[in-house]
Structure 1
């Protein structure tokens, strides 16, 4: 495995601070947020200094029932080549459902959702991973995700699921220790047991991030400081294997650069503590990892099954789950209705927040009523495309209802919508005029 060192998630809001930080060996960038032909100057300067840049995809949905979209794979490959990346990463998740396999409308989650740990889901995931590997110019690593809910009647533990995935595809793993903590709080999964069962010999690198707990549910926000339990899990991982790279993720509510540096220092300390334990022989990592590999791979068959009919079964199950979360259909039997309700509200809240970011004029035009209006819209209208399309759909929905009530705001919203929904921009100065109102 290539040694990466200590890294941080590159975001435009902290680009200058990242460039000034000492001891940053590599950065990770959300693949969908950069254009190969117009890379941010900050990333180019980091690359010139020898800092490795890795694209991290969020929209492939390799755990979904459909075959990976060729256009998305091509886009990810282009970003890997433009950034000179040694590998690319994605998630073990599904992000959309419906469509041709179920003869139902396509639904978008706008979020990473857990796949069931079943034989059907594993077969589909393995085939999708092999398709992606064939299309990418560099190795692929997949991340374990955080989840608010569990699937009923799962057939495999996470360790068994990931071990067989690695054995059948050769894919590498990106282990997010914050997600292990999230699943501990939300699903009762013991982090130490999870680490002992993971095929850590396939480790590419590690994610570390913060979150918060509310009403007994842990939210993986990437907007809060890294808590001590997450650092302890990182120490436990480092006691079993030397992580090739460790990266701090932060997506919003960015603190002072000095606070980010303190978090990076704490992360280095957690890794050093784990390696010290390993050197003293206080963690029996060799036995644990060897046992986990045997239980995960040797105890189950690894012969691929035909997935033609399997895809349809997975599609039906995932569509029922996603429809209950974003379209208000009944929660499928066996799922925790309370947790599914929490997940549904979290998805709607995330939609509102991301739409406000990609279309910052909308909260300005609608004022304090933006969030309430968007959540009411989201309860009736599942997302049918990306977030930019969602912003257009939301604006069009309001205009059909004759809103906002104030004529000037309604006229401004109509102009904003027409400027983007038509074949060519109508009023090039609209964005700057609207945003000036924010001041």
Structure 2
């Protein structure tokens, strides 16, 4: 792995500050918030200056029961090629279900079970074979634990690496989050995982409320997280350490101070002897990404020509356009009750302009990183693996159907049922599945709704103004969101919210209603739905 150094998460709101930061070695960008053919000028300047840029994805949902969406994999690969990135990163999480079709809008933990591990491993292999550069996966922050888990986090991550050869992105702030919220020992995780597979490290701030740690990415990095960074550095020298900040951005001097504190921790720990990391028998992977991993990383990795490059205009291919918000932790710490936002999380800072210029990837927007998105307008709207046991061996070859079998469909079905029951309880108001901590699930429900409201306000910043301010907007949106789970992206959600208000002859002020009607028409079509459609949707809403 090439040396990266100390970096920061690039967000449009701090683009100028990032451009001026002294000694900045590299940046990470939310992959779904950029368009390969139309990089923001500030990001392009960094690239021309030789600053390494790593795309950080938030929408693949590799921990989900479904195989990864090929279009999303193509889109992520295109961004890696466009940025000359040495690798791409994603998360060990699920973000949606397909039956029923539900979007979480956030990164949710996968159960640490044999079934879930088998599904994750096959999904990772599919992604590795499709991507032009190596893949690294991040441990996420969690508010709740799954009942009936069979492994610790350390065991789960170790087996994942051994069976796929994937690299790890260790977020020490997430280790602290899980210590507070789930009683897990960060040192035990660091002792157990194969540190030779470490790609780089994330550091971020959060806040504790009522005994729950919220990984907000909107607060300064606390000393306890820097202590965990030192703990990790005492075991291994990471190729890179990156500061994540996604909302409530401080003055440039404060960002520089946080980066200096990170450098000091890494440098101070380096003065002590670094023991040899524990070796594991990582299984070789011979797909496209694995081959790239064996080549020198000093030069930007290259890959196949993008297949769906987004061109300005309505004809953008799926997967090519910037996402409205994309980032998973940002804003919603383990389930921060007040989402800062957006990747996550990301949240696009750009408005939902009429006539989208680039269509978002299908089903994306899991959790935008606060303030992430290049002037994105609103876009209107694996083959099955052979059945085997739940412990597939990694396959060699260039595609998902390479030489070794995939995970059994029965395991995928079991994982799908569990994830669907949980996500439905979180976003659709169905009963909480047996065995979960109901109090924590309630906190998660509030957090997801709050984040959803915050992200939509960033995707469509005109809406709070039309509705009379942030407070009236928030009340109206949370009322709308009850029983109306998100099934597509945040842009679609903004349109559906506006349509919901208009069907009910809201807002009450005629002038505001005319403004909302004009806003909706510019983005959704030439005319509002016909009376029969409005009537049917009203009945459906009451039934929900």
> What is the number of equivalent residue pairs in this alignment?
407
Partner of 2:239: 244
* Residues 69/424 of structure 1: CA separation in 2 closer, same or farther (3 Å cut): farther
Partner of 1:327: 428
SS in 1 for 2:468: helix
Partner of 2:443: 342
Query: Does the 8 A contact of 2:154 with 2:188 survive in 1?
Result: no
Report the Cα offset of residue 275 of structure 1: 2.0
Partner of 2:217: 222
Distance in 1 between residues matched to 2:133 and 2:66, nearest whole Å: 23
Aligned counterparts, 1:162-173, within 5 A: 162-173=157-168
Query: Does the 8 A contact of 2:57 with 2:90 survive in 1?
Result: yes
Query: Does the 8 A contact of 2:144 with 2:182 survive in 1?
Result: yes
Query: Does the 8 A contact of 1:365 with 1:409 survive in 2?
Result: yes
Partner of 1:352: 453
* Residues 131/66 of structure 1: CA separation in 2 closer, same or farther (3 Å cut): same
Distance in 2 between residues matched to 1:124 and 1:98, nearest whole Å: 15
Partner of 2:16: 16
Partner of 1:71: 71
- Give 2:248's match in structure 1, choosing from 249, 253, 276: 253
- Give 2:477's match in structure 1, choosing from 356, 366, 374: 374
Report the Cα offset of residue 201 of structure 1: 0.9
Distance in 1 between residues matched to 2:198 and 2:227, nearest whole Å: 18
Distance in 2 between residues matched to 1:275 and 1:423, nearest whole Å: 63
Report the Cα offset of residue 390 of structure 1: 0.8
- Give 1:107's match in structure 2, choosing from 102, 105, 113: 102
Q: TM-score, normalised by structure 2?
A: 0.73
Tell me, which stretches of 5 or more residues in structure 2 are unaligned?
Answer: 282-389, 395-405, 529-544
- Give 1:185's match in structure 2, choosing from 171, 175, 180: 180
Partner of 2:257: 262
Distance in 2 between residues matched to 1:37 and 1:326, nearest whole Å: 35
Partner of 2:127: 132
Query: Does the 8 A contact of 1:239 with 1:276 survive in 2?
Result: no
SS in 2 for 1:7: strand
Runs of 4+ in 1 over 4 A off after TM superposition: 300-305
Tell me, which stretches of 5 or more residues in structure 1 are unaligned?
Answer: 100-104, 280-284, 295-299, 426-439
Query: Does the 8 A contact of 2:4 with 2:240 survive in 1?
Result: yes
The question of 1:153 aligning with 2:148 is answered yes
Query: Does the 8 A contact of 1:164 with 1:302 survive in 2?
Result: no
Please, what is the CA RMSD of the aligned residues? 1.7
Query: Does the 8 A contact of 2:4 with 2:26 survive in 1?
Result: yes
Report the Cα offset of residue 302 of structure 1: 6.9
Report the Cα offset of residue 273 of structure 1: 2.5
Distance in 1 between residues matched to 2:98 and 2:131, nearest whole Å: 26
The question of 1:55 aligning with 2:55 is answered yes
Distance in 1 between residues matched to 2:427 and 2:441, nearest whole Å: 10
Which is worse superposed, 354-363 or 270-279? 270-279
The question of 1:403 aligning with 2:509 is answered no
- Give 2:416's match in structure 1, choosing from 301, 306, 315: 315
Query: Does the 8 A contact of 2:157 with 2:193 survive in 1?
Result: yes
Query: Does the 8 A contact of 2:119 with 2:407 survive in 1?
Result: no
What is the CA deviation profile of residues 251-305 of structure 1, one whole-angstrom value per residue up to 9, with x for unaligned ones? Answer: 11100000000000111111123222335xxxxx447x35xx58xxxxx977476
- More relative contact order, 1 or 2 (CA 8 Å, 6+ apart): 2
The question of 1:415 aligning with 2:518 is answered yes
* Residues 133/423 of structure 1: CA separation in 2 closer, same or farther (3 Å cut): farther
- Give 2:495's match in structure 1, choosing from 392, 395, 407: 392
Report the Cα offset of residue 6 of structure 1: 0.7
What is the CA deviation profile of residues 21-59 of structure 1, one whole-angstrom value per residue up to 9, with x for unaligned ones? Answer: 111111000001000110011111111111000100000
Q: TM-score, normalised by structure 1?
A: 0.90
Distance in 2 between residues matched to 1:376 and 1:149, nearest whole Å: 25
SS in 2 for 1:123: helix
What is the CA deviation profile of residues 345-368 of structure 1, one whole-angstrom value per residue up to 9, with x for unaligned ones? Answer: 000010011100010000110123
Distance in 2 between residues matched to 1:376 and 1:55, nearest whole Å: 35
Partner of 2:194: 199
Query: Does the 8 A contact of 2:495 with 2:520 survive in 1?
Result: yes
Report the Cα offset of residue 199 of structure 1: 1.4
Distance in 1 between residues matched to 2:453 and 2:205, nearest whole Å: 21
Report the Cα offset of residue 424 of structure 1: 10
What is the CA deviation profile of residues 304-341 of structure 1, one whole-angstrom value per residue up to 9, with x for unaligned ones? Answer: 76321211111000000000000111110000000001
Distance in 1 between residues matched to 2:269 and 2:497, nearest whole Å: 49
* Residues 424/133 of structure 1: CA separation in 2 closer, same or farther (3 Å cut): farther
Distance in 2 between residues matched to 1:409 and 1:91, nearest whole Å: 41
* Residues 258/118 of structure 1: CA separation in 2 closer, same or farther (3 Å cut): same
Report the Cα offset of residue 245 of structure 1: 0.2
Partner of 2:230: 235
Which is worse superposed, 266-275 or 313-322? 266-275
Distance in 1 between residues matched to 2:193 and 2:481, nearest whole Å: 38
- Give 2:206's match in structure 1, choosing from 202, 211, 234: 211
